[in-house]
Amino acid sequence: MTDESDERPMPVMGLGDGFEFEESPPLRVSGYICLLLGILSFFSLLGKPMLLFAVGSIVFGLIALRKYDGPRPAGTLVAMWGIILSVGFGTCGYTIPLMKQATLSRQAEEFAGQYMKLVALGHDEHAMELKKEWYNRLSTDMNLAEHYLSDQRISESLVQFKTDLVNREFKRRGPDAEWELDRPIRIYYQYGKEHAEVVWSDPTGDSELTIQMFMDYEIDSKGRGQWLMSVVQPLRRRLVADSIL
C-alpha cells in the first residue's frame, strides 16, 4: 500500500460465496492533470509565458509516475502522454523564438553592413532610400541622383545626409573598413514591430568612434521581411545617477 495523496482506491464487486469488495489499482489524479496541462502546453507556441503549462505538466507527470507498490495505478499512462505533449510543445515554444531572433540578428547585421558600404561608396541616394518604408521607396530603375537634385526639399536633405558626422566617417574609412560588432545585436519588440539595435566599432581606425544603428522590421505586401534604417548615430550612453535622493 502507498500513502499517496492523489491516489483513490476503486472498490469493485467480486464473486464468491457472497458479495465482497476487492481493491482495484489506485487512481492517480495527477496523471490526468498532467495530460490536461500537456494539451494546454500547445499555447507555448504563442509566447514564452505559456511555457508554464509545459512546466506544470511535467511536474504533475513526475508526481504521477513516482514509484508504487502493487498493481499499476490508473493515470500513469495518460501521464506519459501528457509529458510527451508538454516536452514537444514546450521545446518548440522555447526554440522557435530563439531561431527567429537568430535569423533577424543575421539579417540586421547584413542590412546594416550593406547600408554602411553604400554610404562609403558614395551612393548616398540609395542609402537614403533604405531609410524609407518599403512602400515609399523609389524604383531601382530610376536615376536617383537626378531625382534628388530635381526637388529642392529633397536636395537639402541629401546635403544634410552627406555632411552628417557618421556618414562622413564611413566615407573617410572607405568600403573596406573592418567594422566589427561592438556587442551582440539586440532584437526587441515594440509598438507592434520587431526592431534591432546594432552597434559597430572599428578598432583599426585612428579615432575611437562607435556607431549605433536602430532598424525596424516590417512585412511587405508579398509577405517578405523588409528592414528600414531608422537611426544612425554615434553611440549614446544613458546617464544613470549613482543614487536618487
pLDDT single digits (tens) 7-41: 665 555 555 555 555 567 788 899 999 999 999 99
Say whether both 92 and 128 belong to one domain: no
The model's confidence at residue 205, banded by pLDDT at 50, 70 and 90, is low
First to last CA, the chain: 64
Which of 81, 97, 113 corresponds to the end of one domain? 97
Distance of CA 234 to the CA centre of its chain: 26
Domain-ending residue, one of 97, 129, 163: 97
What is the pLDDT, as a whole number, of residue 155? Answer: 84
Q: What pLDDT, in 10s, does the model give residues 108-117?
A: 999 999 999 9
pLDDT tops 80 at residue 224:
yes
Instruction: Examine the domain organization and report whether 76 and 120 are in the same domain.
Output: no
Half-sphere exposure of 200 (CA within 13 A, CB side): 23
User: What was the pLDDT predicted at 195?
Assistant: 94
CB-based contact 33:21 (threshold 8 Å)? no
Band the pLDDT of 1: cuts 50, 70, 90. Answer: very low
The pLDDT > 90 percentage for the chain reads 49
Q: From CA 75, how far away is CA 58, in angstroms rounded? A: 14
Q: Is the pLDDT of residue 60 over 60?
A: yes
Which whole number is the average pLDDT over 217-238?
88
Q: Are residues 205 and 137 in the same domain?
A: yes
Same domain, 132 and 226: yes
Same domain for 132 and 12: no
Output b/e per residue, 51-64; b: 16+ Cβ within 10 A: bebbebbbbbbebb
122 & 78 share domain:
no
The x, y and z cell numbers of residue 112, run together, are 546594416
Its domain, for residue 36, covers 7-97
Domain match, 139 and 207 both: yes
- 65 and 105, same domain (yes or no): no
Backbone angles phi, psi at 194, to 5 degrees: -85, 140
Q: Identify the sign of the CA torsion 188, 189, 191, 192.
A: positive
pTM for the structure as a whole: 0.71
Q: What is the mean pLDDT of the chain?
A: 85
The total domain count for the chain is: 2
Q: Do 206 and 114 share a structural domain?
A: yes
Q: What number is the average pLDDT over the span 46-63? A: 92
We report the CATH number of the domain holding residue 168 as 3.10.450
pLDDT, tens only, 62-101? 999 998 887 888 889 999 999 999 999 999 999 998 999 9
Give 83: exposed, middle or buried? Use CB within 10 Å, 0-12, 13-18, 19+.
buried
- pLDDT, position 145: 78
In this structure, the answer to whether residues 167 and 52 fall within a common structural domain is no
Based on the fold, state whether residues 74 and 153 are members of the same structural domain. no
**245: confidence class by pLDDT, cuts 50, 70, 90:** very low
pLDDT value for 4 = 52
Give the model's pLDDT for residue 7. 63
- Do residues 38 and 55 make contact, with C-beta atoms less than 8 angstroms apart? no
Task: pLDDT band for 144, please (50, 70, 90 cuts).
Answer: confident
Minimum mean pLDDT range among 33-37, 170-174, 226-230, 241-245: 241-245
Q: Are residues 215 and 105 in the same domain?
A: yes
Structural domain contains residue 136: yes
Q: Per the domain annotation, does 109 fall within a domain?
A: yes
- How far lies 146's CA from each of 125, 149, 206, in Å? 10, 5, 35
Domain boundary among 41, 66, 97: 97
